[in-house]
Amino acid sequence: MAAKSDNKENSMVGVVLVTHGSFGETLLEAAKTVLGPQENCLAIGVDVNKGVDETMESIRSAIRSVETGKGVLALTDLFGGSPTTMSLSLMKSENLEVITGVNLPMVVATLQSRAMSLNKVAEKVKDAGQQGIKVAGAMLRKKGKK
C-alpha cells in the first residue's frame, strides 16, 4: 500500500534528548544503529558542574536547531531530575512537549513517528516505552511449557 504523499516531507517533529551525562548521546547512537542515520535530532548532556543558566541555553539552542515548524519532543530521563525540570521551563518559549523515562524503545518509536503531530508522537512514544518493558525470560519459559 502506497503512503499518501505529503508535500511537507521535510516537516517533522524535532527530537532532543536531555539527560544526565552522556546517556542521551549514547542512546541516540544506539537508535541510529537500529534505524540508520536520522535528521533533526540532538542529545544534550546535563553537566551538573555547570550553571543552570548555561545549561538552559544549550538546551534552548538544541531545540531551536531541530525545530522545523511542527514542534519538538524533549525526551528526558528522570521525572523530577534537573534535565526534566530545565526542559519544562522552556515550554514557556518553545513549542515543546516533554516526556520522561527515556529508553531505547521510546527513541526508536519517536524517530519512526515524527510525521505525526507533536501530541500524537508523545502518546505513541509513551506507549512504546511502557510496552518495551517485558520480563522476557518469563515469557519464554511460559511459551516453552505450552
Nearer of residues 88 and 115 to another protein, judged by Cβ: 88
Nearer of residues 100 and 113 to another protein, judged by Cβ: 100
Least distance from another protein to the Cβ atom of residue 48, Å: 7
Distance CA 74, CA 44 (A): 10
Least distance from another protein to the Cβ atom of residue 135, Å: 24
Give residues in contact with another protein (CB under 8 A).
20, 48-52, 78-82, 84-85, 88-89, 92
AA letter at 145: K
Distance CA 125, CA 52 (A): 28
Least distance from another protein to the Cβ atom of residue 21, Å: 12
- Locus of grid cell 551538573: 48
Nearer of residues 35 and 79 to another protein, judged by Cβ: 79
Nearer of residues 30 and 79 to another protein, judged by Cβ: 79
Least distance from another protein to the Cβ atom of residue 81, Å: 3
Question: Please, how many CA atoms are within 13 Å of residue 123, restricted to the half-sphere of its CB?
Answer: 5
> How does 5-26 read in b/e, with b if 16+ C-beta sit within 10 Å?
eeeeeeebbbbbbbbbeebbee
Task: For residue 131, give every residue at least 6 positions away whose Cβ sits within 8 Å of its Cβ, in sequence order, or none.
Answer: 105
